[in-house]
Structure 1
C-alpha cells in the first residue's frame, strides 16, 4: 500500500453510499455502459491468455468476464469493501492499492485498465502519475484503457431527472461545467470531468499512442429519463437496443464524444 492519500469523499462514497457491484446491471444506462465497455475492450485486447492489471477495478465487475474470457486478472483498489468483493470472484487476485503507486514490477503486464481512477483524481499531477505507473508496468506494445467521465454528463443526467428547473441545481451543474470538478459534498463523490480532447491529451502525454471512444453514445440519458418516469426496466427492450446501436453508429464522429456519459481512451505503449 502506498502513502498516497485518497479523497475521503471517494472512500466514503464507495464504502457505504453506493453498491458498485450492481451499478452496471441494475439500470438500462448502466447495462449500456457495461456492454459498450466490453465490446470496446474485446476489440483491442490481445488474445487470451494475457496478464491484465485492473487498477481501480472495484468489486471485480469487469474482472469476472475477463477471467471467463480466459485472461489472468490482478485487481487493485483502494476500497477494502471492493477488494473483499473482488476476492470472491473465482480466479481473481485482488489487493488494496493506489493507481499512483502500483506494487507491480516494471513491464510485467500485457494490459492495464484504469476504468475509474482518472476521474477520481482531481489534480492533473495525480492523473499523470497514475498514467505513468500504467506505462511503467506495461510491456512494450502493451495496452492501456483509461476511462473518464464526460464534461457534460451531469448536464444530461440532471435534465433526464428533471432537476434543472431548480435554480440551485442550475448553479451546481453550472459550476461543474465551468470547473470540470465535483467536490463530492452532495450526491456523487469527488470527480473530475474530461472532454474527449483532454483525455486524449493526458494519455498521449504519458507516452501512449491513443484514441478516444464514447462509451454510451448520445442517447443514454433518454434511457435514464424513461426508466425514471415509467418505473420500468428498459434492459433488452427495443429502446435499449436502439440506444446501443446509436452508440456504435456515433463512433466515427468525434463531435459526438461530448454526448456520452463516459469516455474510453485506448492506447499502446
Structure 2
C-alpha cells in the first residue's frame, strides 16, 4: 500500500509562547518546534498499517525550512520517505490544503492520513478540505482502523455523541482523520533510527511548480493576544463546616451563578 501522512510542525506544548510586538506572530527564538502531538497518532497509524500489510509511508509537510527537522523525526518513527512543500507564505488552512492536494495528486496514494487538528491552530479543517479538493471519501475523528478486502477498503470506528460508536466502511483511496489513540501510543525513535533518518533524503517541492501559489488564502491573521488571566483562588471562610458549606453555596449561586 502507498500511504501518506500529512503532518504539521507546531511549537512544543511545554514551550512558553511570547507574542511579537506586531501582535501577529510569535517569537521563535528559543522556541522548540516538534511534530504536532495529534500528527504523531496519524503517523503511527500509517506506520502500523504498513508493517502489517506492506507498502511504504511518506510524510508530507508544508512550511518553512525548519520543518525539515520534523520530517527527519518522521523518518525515524516509521516514515520511509519525506516531502517538504516550500514557498507557501501563509498559514491559511485552505491554502495549505490546496498545496497538499496539488502535491499528493502527483504522488498517488491508497490511504491518506491527517490529524484531528493542529495543536497550535486547533482548526481541524485541512483534512476535510483536502478530501474535497482531491475528490476522495473522508472519514473524520477515526479512533480505530482496519484494512480489508486486500487493501481495497478500510473499516473505521469513531466515537460520536451520546457515547455511541459509529462504524464506517470506506473504499480506498480515501482521506482519514486520525483521532488520539487510533493505534495506541506513538512510538519513540531509537538512536539507530535517528542516525539513519539523518542520512535519508528529503524531497523539496516548491508550491509554485504545483500551480498552487496560495491563491486560496481567504483568512488573514489580524491580531494575537493572550487569554485573560484567571482570578486567584478563594478560600471559603467559616467557623464551622456547616457555615463553610453555606458560604460556598452562596458564592456559587450569587457570584459564580452556576447553581
TM-score by length of 2: 0.34
Larger gyration radius, structure 1 or structure 2: 2
State TM-score, norm by structure 1. Answer: 0.33
